[in-house]
Amino acid sequence: MRIAYVVPGPMSKGPMGLAEMRRRETLLNSWAFPGTEVTVVDVPDGPASIESAYEEALCVPATINLIMKCERDGFDAAIIGCFGDPGLEAARELTTMPVVGPCESSLLLAAGLGHKFSILTIFDSMVAGQEFLAYKAGVRDKLASVRATGIPVLDLMKRPEQTKARLVETAALCVKQDRADAFLFGCMTMSFLDLAEEISAAVGAPAVNAGKAALKHAETLVSMGLSHSKTAFPMPMKMQAGQPFEALRVA
């Protein structure tokens, strides 16, 4: 099967650049089941990184366009490459192939690992937003806590040892103080550090890589012949009534 991993910002033009995109593609393919091929693509313009509601909103229109193109190009599924799952519902309205988001995917996976789990996020200002996402995913009752490391997305890869230490320390608080049985990386750059096993061993509780979780979720859906329900995510009514996609926008 062919899966598109759609980065909802212009990563190839930003500080991380094409090299990081290719590195993530290689990692994704190394994580995949035999027979899965993952391609990483990014949008032409949008936010450098997504750390606020505004930056999240900014990326959606271009991301939807790219996901629709992926479906036309024959991909079997798409992953939205940002932990906030920006545009997930809109994308599902406009596709029939499965579209998954790393937040929803990793929340549902973490829910099966124990009684409670926590999310490691970037800033305190993102805590409430991720609590809402847990509610939307239906697993709010299992969320022990969301704790921020305070390291901006674009700095996570700069000082890896410091990042790792902070992740271990924050995850340990989730387990000891919040009674989390597992935790997940609430940021794709965090996840693509590929440190889940190491940090899990240090903390003594399972750690979920949100990128891997989204990949497995997509592979599972394709393999089972399942996709999101069109009763939940119907095509916009104007398109059901015969108007083309382009007509939704007036300018």
The footprint of its own copies on residues 90-149 (CB under 8 A) is: 90, 93-94, 100, 104-105, 108-109, 111-116, 123, 125, 127-129, 131-132, 135-142
Question: Which one among 237, 242, 244, 246 touches its own copies, defined by CB under 8 A?
Answer: 237
Binders of its own copies among 65-84, rule CB under 8 A? none
Yes or no: say if 143 and 117 are a contact pair by the CB < 8 Å rule.
yes
Element at 53 (helix H, strand E): helix 53-72
With CB under 8 A as the contact rule, the residue among 182, 187, 193, 195 that binds its own copies is 182
Q: How far is the CB of 69 from its own copies (least distance, A)?
A: 15
- The answer to whether 56 contacts its own copies (rule: CB under 8 A) is yes
Which pair of structure tokens corresponds to residue 4?
């598109």
13 binds its own copies (CB under 8 A): yes
Interaction of residue 155 with its own copies, rule CB under 8 A: no
| 193 part of the interface to its own copies, by CB under 8 A | no
Task: Quote the least distance from Cβ 97 to its own copies, whole Å.
Answer: 13
Residue 178 corresponds to which tokens in the numbers above?
């919040």
Output 244-251 pairs: Cβ under 8 A, ≥24 positions apart. Answer: 245/68, 245/94
According to CB under 8 A, which one of 225, 242, 244, 246 is a site residue for its own copies? 225
Among positions 8, 47, 81, 102, the unique one binding its own copies when judged by CB under 8 A = 47
Cα angle 83, 197, 183 (rounded to 5 degrees) comes to 45
Q: Which two tokens stand for residue 41?
A: 């693509």
- Cβ within 8 Å of residue 202, ≥6 positions away: 168, 172
